Structure 1
Amino acid sequence: MSLNGLYLNGASCKANCGCCRMANKICIDSSTAAALSKKEKRLEEVEPTLERLVKRVRFLQAYEPAPLVESSARDVSFVGFDQVPVYAHRFIMAGKSTVFQRMFHCDMKEKESGTVVVNDASSAVLRSMVKFCYTAEIEFTEDVSAEEMLKISHKYDIRHLKEVCEEELSKSLNGSNFCKRLKLAHMYDGKELDSAVAKFLQANFTDLYKKVSESLCRDPNLE
């Protein structure tokens, strides 16, 4: 039995069009197959965006409800090497970071003082870290680089921020920075960044090998 290009009840397609889905005894014409393929491609393109949105929502939903009553005002400050304080709420920061969670709930000096001293970060970086914990948004600039944010996200275990930084660093890989990016991946356990560098090397091996070979040949210290 045939109906509008569909072959049912055990019938077979005589057109030999290559579009048959014989497991279901169905044949579709080429235009329908092309339309389905186009829709599947669009879904594949949208999936990463949806995945990022889901992660962002889950990140924003995470907070420590217990100290909510006593945290009606900003009750913690982060002080970097430039001595400019950045203020936040403990229950927000503890919900986004396992390190801050332990820091504010255990008998540590930060719990009593309400001050977290961060000697290896600027106030600009700390401000971006705090803002991200509230909004899941970040703008990378010269003062707030993806490298610096990767470092602080790893230090305080802010996982979604770390994912965003790795994605940003992966997008701008080139022949001049891939070594530094690989080093960053190993220093801060950046599995996604490490994978991106490996794929970059695989895709550009010939050009990179030529570049390295020419550089070595010009080195006067090598005999």
Structure 2
Amino acid sequence: MFDQNLMVEAQKGELIISDSSPIYVRAMLEFFYTGDIKTLWESHVEGIFALAHKYEVEKLKYKCELFMASQLDSTNVLKCCNIISLYGAPTLEKRIKAAFE
């Protein structure tokens, strides 16, 4: 997504993300540099997932889905269903369906 030469961001070498929390952006940058996120999962996974969705960072989206699926319980299943509805999250959706079979 970031390598489109016609985009202003590509021409300037700068991307301004003004509609997201700095914590989510930091987590995404950590993922870009290390391929993982060591902290922040528990309390920020939904926001990180939304940012990864917006910028089409598929590997980060997948890692977020795996984490949410591993934490699935009766207290967060509706939140997870909402995430699936808004963004599409096939791995998380499969986990929820399996839980109800």
Q: Name the TM-score, length of structure 1 as normaliser.
A: 0.42
Alignment-derived partner of residue 108 in structure 1: 7
Query: Structure 1 residue 186 and structure 2 residue 88: aligned?
Result: no
Q: Does the 8 Å CA contact 1:170/1:193 hold for their aligned counterparts?
A: yes
Amino acid at match of 2:11: E
More helix by share: 2
Change (3 A) 1:124 1:144: farther
Query: Structure 1 residue 171 and structure 2 residue 94: aligned?
Result: no
| Aligned positions of 1:61-80 closer than 5 A | none
State the 4+ residue runs in structure 1 displaced beyond 6 angstroms: none
For the aligned residue pairs, the C-alpha RMSD in angstroms reads 1.9
Flag the structure with more relative contact order, 1 or 2, with Cα contacts below 8 A and sequence separation at least 6: 2
Stretches of structure 1 that go unaligned for 5 or more consecutive residues are 1-98, 203-223
- Percent of pairs with identical residues: 25
Q: Aligned partners of 1:158, 1:174: CA distance in 2, in Å?
A: 26
Q: Aligned partners of 1:145, 1:196: CA distance in 2, in Å?
A: 20
| Aligned positions of 1:130-145 closer than 5 A | 130-141=29-40, 145=44
User: How many aligned positions are there?
Assistant: 101
More strand by share: 1
Q: Does the 8 Å CA contact 1:132/1:138 hold for their aligned counterparts?
A: yes
| Aligned positions of 1:60-99 closer than 5 A | 99=1
3-state SS of paired residue (1:168)? helix
Stretches of structure 2 that go unaligned for 5 or more consecutive residues are none
